[in-house]
Structure 1
Amino acid sequence: MIKAKKMWSDTKFTRLLGIDLPIVQGPFGGKVSSIDLTAIVSNSGGLGSYGCQPFDANEIVKISEEIKKKTDKPFNLNLWVKDRDDKIDDFDDLALREVNEVFQPYFYEAGIELPQFPFADSPSFENQIEAIFTIKPAVFSFVYGIPSADILEKCRQLNIKTVGAATTLDEAIAIENAGVDALVATGFDAGGHRVSFLDKPEESLIGTFSLIPQIADHVNIPVIAAGGIVDSRGVKAAFSLGADAVQMGTAFLATEESGASQAHRKKLFSKEARYTTLTKVFTGRLSRAIKNRLTEELKDYQGKLAPYPLQGKIVGKLGAYPANAESAPELKSFWSGQAASILKFHHAKDLIEHIIADMGTS
C-alpha cells in the first residue's frame, strides 16, 4: 500500500505549537517590529513575532494587548537574555572620550554635540521577563544566552513554549540540555545581530546551510532555520537539510507592514543591499547590515567602541540628525541578511502565499 505524502507543513514545530505553517517571522529589535506584521503572520497560520528588547515590562504588556486585539492565534515575544556587555562597568569618562575621538568628525559634520554621561537607562531582562509571565504568550523566544532554570520552569508551568537561538552546534546542545522546547539555528548570513553566547561571535561564523544539518543530527527538539531564507527555494533547502521550520527576518522586514522606515525598506530593494558586512559600529555587538560610509570608514576601530548598549546610544544620536539630511543614511544602520538581493515581496501576505503555493507536498 502506498502511503500518502505528508504535507510539508506538518512538522515537529507546527505540532508543538498547534499552528498551520512552519514559518516564523523574525523578531526585530530596535523598535522595527510592528503589531500589524506580527498579527498578519500569525493570522496566516505562521508564528508572528515581536522584538521586545527596547521596551520595559509595562510597554511590553501594552504592546501584547494591542497584538491580541488583532489576532487570537499564537504569537512570539522575544527578549535578550544578556542585556549589557560585561565591560560596561569599566566604561568611564576617559573611555567615553576615547570613543568620542573616533566619532568627533561625524558629530562635527552633523553640527551636534558629542554625547556625554549620563546616558538614559535601558530596560533590563530581569524587568522584562516579568511581562512575559503576565502576558503568557504562546511562545517566548530569547537570544544571547539561556534564561535560568527557574525562569524556564515557570514558563513550563504557565504553558509558555520556549525557543532559544544557536549559532553553533555547542550552543544548540546547551539549549536542548536546558529543557528549551525548540531552537533557532541562525547562520552568519542572517541580518542583524550575531547572537552567540558560548564563544565570541567572530569565532562562531557558520553559514545557515552548514549549521542546519549539524544541529538536526544532534538534537531532538524542533530546529528552526534562519539566515539567507527569503523565498520558497530557501525553505525547501532548509527542510531538505533537516529543519522543522524557517525563520525569515529580512524578507519580512522588507514588507510594508514591518516597522522599518521607508528608507530602510527602499534600501533593502536597492543594489546596495548586495553588499552587507559584519560590524560592531552600530551597537557595540557584531551584527550584519548594509555597508555604508560609517561601516567602511571605521573598519579598523572595532576594538575602540563603547560596550552594548552605550554604543547604540552614541550612534543613534548621530544617525538621528536631521532626518532629511543627505548624508544621514550613511550614518544609520540598515540591517540586512546576505540574500536581500533576491527579495521580491513588498507585502507579508504575498510572501506567505508564494511559499504556500510553491511548496506543495513533500
Structure 2
Amino acid sequence: MRALPSFFAQLGLSCPLVQAPMAGGPATPELVAAVGGAGALGMLGAGYLTPQAIRAAAARVRERSPAPFGINLFVHDTPPRPDPLEMQRAVEALGPYHAELGLPAPVLPEQVEECLEEQLEAVFEVRPAVFSFAFGALGADVIERLHEAGMQVVGTATSVLEARALEDCGVDAVVVQGFEAGGHRCSFLHRFDEALVGTLALLEQAAGAVRVPLIAAGGIMNGRAVRAALDLGAAGAQLGTAFLLCDEAGTSAAYRAALAGASDTSTVLTRAFSGRPARGLRNRMTDELEGAALPYPYQNALTRALRAEAARQGRAEFLSLWAGQAAALARPLPAAELVRTLARELEETYTTDRTA
C-alpha cells in the first residue's frame, strides 16, 4: 500500500477512511468510537444536536476510545418562514399520515433548527481533532479560530467551483460529494440540479483544480472503490451507507430491513422529508409528498414528529431512509470489523498490482 496521506497520518490514523457524519441518528457515539478504535476517522453528525447534546456525545465517544474523531455541523442561510398558504398546503399534505399513525395534526414549531453559533461554541469546548461542515462555507475568521484550537477543518463540495471556494476559505481538506451519495446534497453555490456530478468525474476534475487534500464521497462501499478514488487523486474516502448496517449504528429496525432489500435502482432524490434534496430509498413519502414540501429547515421540523413515531411503530414508508446508490452492497458487520475489512480489501488491490 502507498504511504498514508499526510491528512490521515498527522491524525494518527492507520487507514485513509472516514465514516460519514450522518446526522439524525445513525452516527452514534458508539459507532464513532468503534471506527476510531479501528484506525479510521469517526465523525459525529451534530447538525441537529443542541450544544449540550454535542458536549454529551463527545464525552461518550471519549469514554469509549482515545482515538481522534470529528464533529460535523450544517452551515447555511435560513430562508424566511413560509407564508400561511405554503404552510397550510404542507400541513394538509402531512395530515393523513399523522392520522394514520395516531398523531395530532402537524404543527411547525417556532424553533426549527439549532443556533449554529451556540453549536460552534460547544465544538470549541470539546475540541475534536477534526471539524467538518456542509451546506455552505465558513468565514476565514472562524476557520482560523478552529485552527488555533487545534482542529483540522474540512468542507464539503459538490462541484469544482465549490471546492475552490472552500480552499480559499482556508480549509485543510475538502469532501467531494458525488451524485451517488446518500443523504442531503451539500451544494451551496448552485441549484442542486446544476451539480449532479458523479463521484469519480467530480474527483478527477477537482484534483486538478485545488491543492488541498480531497476526500471522495458517494457510492464507495468496499476497498476496490476506495482504491479507484485514490487513483484519481483522492487522499481518502468517506463512507456513510456502508456503516448503516453496523451493530453500533443508530439505524432503526425498519430502516435496516429496507436496506436489506435495496437494489441499484432503489434510491431517489427527494425533498419530501426535509425540504432539501437528499438521496434515500424510495418509499410512500417520496412518491406522494414531493410537491408539497416546505423549504429546509421548515419541512424537516414539520416532519420530525411523523418520522419519530414511524420509527417507533416500525413504519418504513414514513421514514427518511437516506442511502447511496450502492446501498445493496452494505454489509452487516461490527464497525471495527468493517473498517479492518475495508483496509484489507484496499491493501489487496496493491498486492494484486504487484503480482499481476
Q: TM-score band, normalised by the shorter chain?
A: over 0.9
Aligned to 2:5: 11
Deviations 1:132-178 (A, max 9, x none): 11111110000011112221111111111100001000000111111
Question: How far, CA to CA, are the matches of 1:10 and 1:129 in structure 2?
Answer: 30
Contact 1:50 1:76 survives alignment (8 Å):
yes
Partner of 1:55: 49
Partner AA of 1:316 in structure 2 = R
CA distance in structure 2 between the aligned counterparts of 1:42 and 1:93, rounded to whole angstroms: 47
CA drift at 1:344 = 2.8
Asked whether the equivalents of residues 216 and 223 of structure 1 are also in contact (C-alpha less than 8 Å), the reply is yes
**Aligned ranges 1:125-140 → 2 under 5 Å:** 125-140=116-131
5+ residue gaps, structure 1: 1-6
Partner residue, 2:37: 43
- Match for 2:287: what amino acid? E
Equivalent position SS for 2:197: coil
2:303 matches 1:315: yes
**CA offsets 1:308-362 (integer angstroms, 9 cap, x no match):** 2221222222234465657x21111111000011223422122222222222247
Q: Which runs of 5+ in 2 are unaligned?
A: none
1:189 matched to which residue of 2? 180
Please show how residues 135-284 of structure 1 align to structure 2 within 5 Å: 135-271=126-262, 274-284=265-275
Q: Hey, what's the Cα distance between the residues in 2 that align with 1:335 and 1:273? A: 14
Aligned residues: 349
Q: Distance in 2 between matches of 1:250 and 1:132?
A: 25
- Contact persistence 1:274–1:341 (CA under 8 A): no
Aligned-partner residue type, residue 150 of structure 2: N
Residues 42 and 70 in structure 2, CA contact (< 8 A), matched pair in contact too: yes
Answer whether contact 1:162 1:182 (CA < 8 A) is retained: yes
Q: Give, in whole Å, the separation in 1 of the partners of 2:10 and 2:340.
A: 23
Q: What CA distance in whole angstroms lies between the structure 1 residues aligned with 2:339 and 2:152?
A: 23
- 1:30 counterpart letter in structure 2: G
Q: TM-score, normalised by structure 1?
A: 0.91
SS in 2 for 1:141: strand
The alpha-carbon deviation at position 204 of structure 1 amounts to: 0.9
1:351 corresponds to 2:338? yes
From the superposition, tell whether residues 18 and 325 of structure 1 become closer, same or farther in structure 2 (CA, over 3 Å): closer
Are 2:112 and 2:298, in contact at CA under 8 Å, matched by a contact in 1?
no
Question: Are residues 1:102 and 2:93 paired?
Answer: yes
> Which has the larger displacement, 342-351 or 151-160?
342-351
In terms of mean alpha carbon deviation, does 111-120 or 212-221 score higher?
Answer: 111-120
Quick one: distance in 2 between partners of 1:312 and 1:161? 29
Q: Distance in 2 between matches of 1:142 and 1:269?
A: 30
1:241-264 per-residue CA deviation (whole Å, 9 max, x = no partner) reads 111100000001221111111221
1:333 aligns with 2:315: no
* TM-score of the aligned structures, taking structure 2 as reference length: 0.92
Secondary structure class of the residue paired with 2:166: helix
Return the alpha-carbon distance in structure 2 between the equivalents of residues 142 and 282 of structure 1: 21
| Cα distance change on mapping 1:290 and 1:66 into 2, 3 Å | same
- What fraction of aligned residue pairs are identical, expressed as a percent? 38
**TM superposition shift of 1:273:** 7.0
Change (3 A) 1:95 1:258: same
Whether the 8 Å contact between 2:242 and 2:329 is mirrored in structure 1 is: no
Contact 2:180 2:325 in 1 (8 A): yes
CA distance in 1, matches of 2:171, 2:311: 42
**1:191-232 residue CA offsets vs partner (Å, 9 max, x unmatched):** 000011111112111010111111111111111000000111
Distance 1:322 1:283 in 2: 15
- Contact 2:107–2:302 (8 Å) recurs in 1: no
Q: How far apart, CA to CA, are the structure 1 residues paired with 2:150 and 2:109? A: 40
Q: Is the 8 A contact 1:80 1:143 kept in 2?
A: yes
Q: Deviations over 1:96-143 (max 9, x none)?
A: 112122223323333433223544442111110001111111100000
1:80 is aligned, of 52, 74, 87, to: 74
Query: How far 1:272 sits from its partner (Å)?
Result: 5.8
Secondary structure in 2 aligned to 1:341? Answer: helix
* 1:3 equivalent in structure 2: none
Tell me how large the CA RMSD over aligned residues is: 1.9
